[in-house]
Amino acid sequence: MESLKQKAKELLEAGEIKAVLGYARGTSDTRRPHVAMSALEVDKLVADQACTTNLANLLMKHEIKHLGKLAVVASRPSTLRSLLQLTAEHQVADGAILALVPAEGGVKQLGTAQAFEEHLALVPQKKTEKDQALLDRLKAMPRAERFAFWQKEFSRCMKCYACRNSCPMCYCERCTMDCNRPQWVPVPSHAVGNQEYHLVRAMHLAGRCVECGECGRACPVGIPVHLLTFFAEDSVRAQFGQGGGASATIDNALSTFRPDDKETFIR
């Protein structure tokens, strides 16, 4: 912890960055995002197991984006995967953001997409046991049963959009869901509107989801909505051999045409 604070202070004092985006104590045992622009604010930083929020989501917010060069605390590999995906989508320039990775006995400073990729190569991507078990169960279900499972889950959705707002890859300034002229997707949380929202979102994230699980954690009624995009991600990986957050130079599988595409869906 002390080495993270020390590194953050050094970078701020040297003028290499304008701010550090990390975590501070929230209410009770929670952690909340914290922007530190001075030594005093750096002292409030914490780095422990409770720091679960994927801070990459905040990098896309107007107030943070315009602060200048930032360092972000990457407690979880999914933050680095988010940075790679955002770089691949030209939302973040390579080298524009430093990642500070709390490590055994110190802190690792990573400054380029290549450094992020090299670090991630040492950290195997793993779903939680609970997520993997439910995902396996969903995959084993006949299609009609799986559809019924999701319909039941969607019926509990109240369209608060916390899942969308917590996602680092849902960064459009104006989301289709908020358009009312024309209104593409019904606003009320009824069966059709909920289903359309979740299926459109899952398709927008297929091949782009970095599997941070933030959307599922954000849901106030406990819908495992992250498993929809995990499911889509596994399908894209199986079909195209690539997934979200793997590289800063890869094109999105679902928006790329290649003459050697398998195109099995039209045979």
If the CB atoms of residues 45 and 202 are measured against ligand SF4, the closer one turns out to be 202
Q: Which stretch binds ligand SF4 (CB under 6 A): 18-26, 43-51, 92-100, 155-163?
A: 155-163
Closer residue to ligand SF4 (CB): 155 or 249: 155
Measured on CA atoms in the order 128, 81, 241, 169, is the torsion positive or negative?
Answer: positive
Residue 232 is a binding residue for ligand SF4 (CB under 6 A): no
Which residue's structure tokens are 């289709």?
A: 176
Site for ligand SF4 (CB under 6 A): how many residues?
A: 26
Instruction: Look up residue 187 and give its two tokens.
Output: 């606003």
Rule CB under 6 A: say whether 157 interacts with ligand SF4: yes
- Nearest to residue 208, comparing CAs of 169, 238, 235, 171? 169
Residues 135 and 227 sit within 8 Å (Cβ to Cβ):
yes
Judged by CB, which is closer to ligand SF4: 7, or 226? 226
Helix (H) or strand (E) holding 73: strand 70-73
Among residues 7, 9, 6, 49, the alpha carbon closest in space to that of 31 is found at 49
In the list 205, 206, 232, 246, the residue contacting ligand SF4 (rule: CB under 6 A) is: 205
Contact status: 74 vs ligand SF4 (CB under 6 A)? no
Q: Report the alpha-carbon distance of residue 267 to residue 264 in Å, rounded.
A: 5
- The window from 5-13, 107-115, 212-220, 252-260 that contacts ligand SF4 (CB under 6 A) reads 212-220
Cβ of residue 33: shortest distance to ligand SF4, in angstroms?
A: 15
CB of 78 to ligand SF4, least distance (A): 7
Alpha carbons 1 and 103: distance in angstroms, whole number: 9
Task: Report whether 245 contacts 253 (CB < 8 A).
Answer: no
Secondary structure of 86-114 in HEC code, one letter for each residue = HHHCCCCCCCCEEEEEEECCEEEEECCHH
Minimal distance in Å, beta carbon 132 to ligand SF4? Answer: 14
Applying CB under 6 A, the span of 22-30, 41-49, 167-175, 251-259 interacting with ligand SF4 comes to 167-175
Q: Which of residues 98-127 bind ligand SF4 (CB under 6 A)?
A: none
Is 75 a binder of ligand SF4 (CB under 6 A)? no
User: Under the rule (CB under 6 A), what is the footprint of ligand SF4?
Assistant: 157-163, 166-169, 205, 209-215, 218-219, 221, 223, 225-226, 229
